[in-house]
């Protein structure tokens, strides 16, 4: 016995993961923002630390200037020693120097045998702060100012220099803290985005498993609560499943009805053939005509069911009823057919099915009426309502339900198949419309009220 396997599933092109896309985009944007923010914060904090360092140099420079005076020999001296002990320790990293005129430079003890370079080509009227690499072993941050001292015509240059090592260490420590903090913050944000993405897309994974259960026949619809963004899609999916189930059920019912309708004529033909009846040919023709009517009826329903799912099903009612009026008028030249009503109405139905419905209704009114047919088109509560009236004998109220059954004819004296109203009812119901029989108040005969959804 050959094993039955499921047909191969159609290949779906995968263009990547939504989760990875969302996480990657968020990660890139987070890194861009953190890099820009970190750079700006580094500039601000580095400037603040540097400004504080320079302020200390300027404070010492002002202290020097306030303590300077001229002795009896015209040389510059301090009337009090500067408070910082590092000025007394050789190569301590903090130095001062005063120079001017033909006098030898006056250095701090911390400079020992070294001297600060001075550029006499420019005049520092205000405090001038700059970096210098004049000493090979250290980079200096120098603040200098040119000023005069009371009692001396010489313009003296006051200089305070400090090793940049302390400043650079502060900046480096600050940057290490910034980098580590921002890396930790970036990693935390990316993890948060990943968790948010995984949690946010979890309903889609649940929906996938629900659809899998639906395909495997374990459930008949997608169950469970869904977020507000996915709930409408689930509702449409359930509606689609219901629609497909209804179409499948209709197809099975049509197939069963057709098989049942053909079974009796085929049995009659087989019995007549087996018995060798003399009127076999007439029997075959009669039963074949019956089978043809049944096939036409079910084909009409099948076409309507197949076209019902189209979202573009729409037909202008007035051109359709005009075309039907012209066709029926040629078949029944002695019948007066009048039409009236709104000419701009559109029904949610295929034009071919609308023509078939109206053709059956108007032709029946012309065939069984007394010579006058009146059709009215109007809008009514979201539906297009078509009224077809005649001046015939009408149909008794007790027979108005039975007349819709297939093959039922109240007047067997006129040619027909007995399927017209059955087709009208079935096709109208396929498009979620209705058809009903009433008595015409104006013409006294039958009034057929057809209602189809408006487009």
Confidence of residue 387 (pLDDT cuts 50, 70, 90): very high
Domain identity same for 264 and 338: no
Burial 325-359 (b: 16+ CB within 10 A, else e): beebbeebeebebebebeeebebbbbbebbbbbbb
Mean pLDDT score of the chain: 82
Distance, CA of 445 to CA of 371 (rounded, Å): 11
**How many other β-carbons are positioned within 10 Å of the β-carbon of residue 103?**
14
60-104 pLDDT, tens digit per residue, is: 888 888 888 887 777 777 888 887 888 888 988 899 998 887 788
Domain identity same for 115 and 247: no
Domain identity same for 196 and 316: no
Query: Does the pLDDT value for residue 283 go beyond 50?
Result: yes
Domain boundary among 179, 200, 221: 200
Domain identity same for 75 and 27: yes
Domain identity same for 176 and 248: no
Domain boundary among 272, 287, 306: 306
Q: Is residue 216 part of a domain?
A: no
Strand, coil or helix: 1: coil
7-55 pLDDT, tens digit per residue, is: 555 556 777 788 888 889 999 999 999 999 999 999 999 999 999 999 9
Confidence of residue 415 (pLDDT cuts 50, 70, 90): very low
Domain identity same for 23 and 59: yes
Domain identity same for 283 and 384: no
The predicted structure's pLDDT at residue 301: 63
Domain identity same for 63 and 184: yes
The pair of three-digit structure tokens given for residue 409, joined into one six-digit string: 């004819």
The pair of three-digit structure tokens given for residue 23, joined into one six-digit string: 């996480």
Query: Does the pLDDT value for residue 406 go beyond 80?
Result: no
Number of domains within the chain = 3
Q: Is residue 428 part of a domain?
A: yes
Q: Is residue 392 part of a domain?
A: yes
Rg (CA), the chain: 51
Give the lowest-confidence range in 35-39, 143-147, 173-177, 264-268: 264-268
Q: Is residue 211 part of a domain?
A: no
Q: Kindly report the CATH number assigned to the domain that includes residue 400.
A: 3.30.565.10
The predicted structure's pLDDT at residue 425: 84
Domain that holds residue 338: 312-453
The predicted structure's pLDDT at residue 36: 93
Q: Is residue 9 part of a domain?
A: no
140-163 pLDDT, tens digit per residue, is: 999 998 888 887 888 888 999 999
| Inter-residue contact 449 to 375 (CB < 8 Å) | no
The predicted structure's pLDDT at residue 404: 65
The predicted structure's pLDDT at residue 273: 78
| Inter-residue contact 222 to 237 (CB < 8 Å) | yes
Domain identity same for 137 and 24: yes
Domain identity same for 126 and 143: yes
Distance, CA of 260 to CA of 453 (rounded, Å): 32
Domain identity same for 359 and 245: no
The predicted structure's pLDDT at residue 15: 74
The predicted structure's pLDDT at residue 451: 92
The predicted structure's pLDDT at residue 408: 45
Q: Across residues 102-109, what is the average pLDDT?
A: 85
Q: Is residue 152 part of a domain?
A: yes
Q: Across residues 199-218, what is the average pLDDT?
A: 84
Domain identity same for 279 and 317: no
Domain boundary among 306, 341, 363: 306
Q: Is residue 268 part of a domain?
A: yes
Query: Does the pLDDT value for residue 411 go beyond 50?
Result: no
Q: Is residue 258 part of a domain?
A: yes
């Amino acid at each position: 016995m050959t094993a039955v396997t499921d047909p191969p599933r159609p290949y779906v092109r995968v263009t990547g993961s939504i989760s990875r896309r969302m996480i990657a985009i968020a990660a890139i944007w987070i890194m861009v923002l953190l890099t820009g923010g970190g750079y700006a914060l580094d500039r601000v904090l580095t400037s603040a630390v540097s400004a504080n360092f320079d302020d200390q140099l300027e404070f010492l420079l002002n202290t020097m200037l306030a303590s300077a005076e001229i002795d009896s020999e015209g040389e510059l001296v301090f009337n009090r020693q500067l408070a910082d002990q590092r000025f007394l320790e050789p190569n301590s990293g903090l130095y001062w120097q005063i120079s001017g005129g033909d006098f030898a430079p006056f250095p701090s003890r911390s400079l020992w045998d070294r001297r600060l370079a001075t550029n006499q080509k420019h005049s520092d009227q205000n405090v001038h702060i700059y970096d210098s690499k004049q000493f090979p072993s250290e980079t200096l941050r120098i603040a200098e100012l040119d000023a005069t001292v009371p009692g001396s015509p010489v313009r003296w240059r006051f200089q305070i220099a400090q090793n940049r090592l302390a400043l650079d260490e502060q900046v480096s420590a600050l940057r290490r803290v910034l980098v580590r903090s921002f890396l930790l913050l970036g990693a935390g944000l990316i993890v948060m985005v990943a968790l948010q993405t995984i949690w946010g897309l979890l309903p889609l994974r649940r929906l996938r498993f629900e659809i899998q259960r639906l395909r495997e026949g374990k459930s008949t619809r997608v169950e469970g609560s869904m977020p507000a963004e996915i709930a409408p899609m689930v509702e449409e999916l359930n509606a689609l499943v219901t629609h497909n189930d209804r179409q499948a059920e209709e197809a099975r019912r049509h197939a069963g009805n057709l098989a049942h309708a053909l079974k009796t004529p085929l049995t009659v033909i087989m019995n007549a053939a087996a018995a060798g009846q003399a009127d076999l040919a007439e029997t075959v023709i009669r039963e074949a005509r019956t089978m043809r009517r049944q096939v036409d009826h079910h084909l009409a329903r099948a076409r309507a069911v197949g076209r019902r799912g189209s979202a573009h099903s729409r037909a202008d009612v007035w051109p359709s009823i005009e075309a039907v009026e012209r066709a029926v008028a040629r078949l029944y030249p002695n019948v007066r057919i009048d039409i009236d009503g709104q000419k701009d109405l559109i029904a949610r139905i295929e034009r071919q099915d609308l023509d078939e419905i109206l053709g059956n209704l108007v032709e029946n009114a012309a065939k069984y009426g007394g010579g006058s047919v009146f059709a009215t088109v109007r809008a009514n509560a979201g539906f297009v309502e078509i009224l077809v009236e005649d001046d015939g004998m009408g149909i008794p109220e007790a027979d108005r339900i039975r007349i819709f059954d297939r093959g039922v004819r109240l007047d067997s004296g006129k040619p027909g198949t007995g399927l017209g109203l059955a087709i009208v009812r079935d096709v109208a119901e396929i498009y979620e419309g209705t058809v009903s029989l009433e008595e015409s108040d104006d013409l006294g005969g039958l009034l057929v009220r057809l209602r189809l959804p408006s487009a």
